[in-house]
Structure 1
């Protein structure tokens, strides 16, 4: 009811007399509680082993063939090239972000490996890696590392709203059948 047309006392009394013999209806529908994701703390050993397992893919000697002109981009051979275009346009929103500002190359490798493992474990499809501008060391190395990882489907320089040329958006291959092991 709008406050612009308040009921006068006569209308309110009439409503109460008409509704006087009614009773409240009992709720008879079953409401199922929302299924909450059970947060389980993973053992520290498992987290470290995942980090190491996923960072061993990154080699400093291997130089994958990436696009020379334009923004940094990559598509795995079995992935539709249209996915990179979607990344460029910002159709995918990153579900997780990793900030590598101030880290060394070795630290960045470990964190990148841990993030890819976390994406697979939590079934996160799109991720953002903030490498910053700085001396361009991480900006040059991260695309080379990501192109080597078997679970990275595609990546592209992030659109302005997600960090521009100081970040990379990537798509991670997520297996729907993976269940977390404890």
Structure 2
């Protein structure tokens, strides 16, 4: 490279830099730090829990300890919920009030057989609350709970809605006869 070439490059450089102002300092502008990471899934979970707490529970989903409740394994959750909400209207009813345990068992067996033959999908059994059973508690209610669990044709049962007898009656979902 000759001196003339150097002067020529120097002149080109100066012309190219015409109008450029020198920096006042030699520091690089700091970038704003990124925001801290947010636990989005945890926030969604917490929001869902709060929504559930603020949403009043369905009365059919609350157990007080006095209700009868039994479902065979494999019965769909939707069917269980509908039975508990009284959305399967009972098409036959048996009232066991005033019967002895032996009479009630025979009446229940005959009623279930007849209900299946009549193709009743949902029936109501009134067993009473045991208010007149002194300190022994509801005798027929406990026995009906036990007897229904033993019957192959019973898919599930639960205490009725208050308008149908509440904890003194049960909705029973039956397997239809073939």
Q: TM-score, normalised by structure 1?
A: 0.57
Instruction: Describe the shift of the 1:138–1:74 C-alpha distance in structure 2 as closer, same or farther (beyond 3 A).
Output: same
Corresponding residue for 1:80? 76
Question: 1:104-151, CA deviations, whole angstroms, 9 ceiling, x for partnerless residues?
Answer: 111111011011101111100000000112321001111111011100
Unaligned 5+ residue runs, structure 2?
A: 1-62
Question: Distance in 1 between the 2:79 and 2:157 partners?
Answer: 9
Q: Give distance in 2, aligned partners of 1:140 and 1:71.
A: 11
Residue 173 in structure 1 maps to residue 169 in structure 2: no
SS of the equivalent of 2:125 reads strand
**Runs of 5+ consecutive residues of structure 1 not aligned to the other structure:** 1-66, 178-182
Aligned-residue CA RMSD (Å):
1.7
CA 145–68 in structure 1, closer or farther in 2 if over 3 Å, else same: farther
What corresponds to 1:102 in structure 2? Answer: 98
* Higher helix fraction (1 or 2): 2
Pick from 138, 142, 145: which aligns with 1:143?
145
Alignment of 1:66-77 (within 5 A): 69=65, 71-77=67-73
TM-score where L is the length of structure 2: 0.58
Match of 1:122 in 2: 118
- Of 133, 136, 139 in structure 1, the residue corresponding to residue 129 of structure 2 is 133
CA distance in 1: counterparts of 2:146 and 2:105, whole angstroms: 11
Question: Size of the alignment, in residue pairs?
Answer: 110
The residue that corresponds to 1:46 in the other structure is none
Name 1:53's counterpart in structure 2: none
- 1:88–1:156 Cα contact (<8 Å) kept: yes
Question: How far off its partner does 1:82 sit?
Answer: 2.7
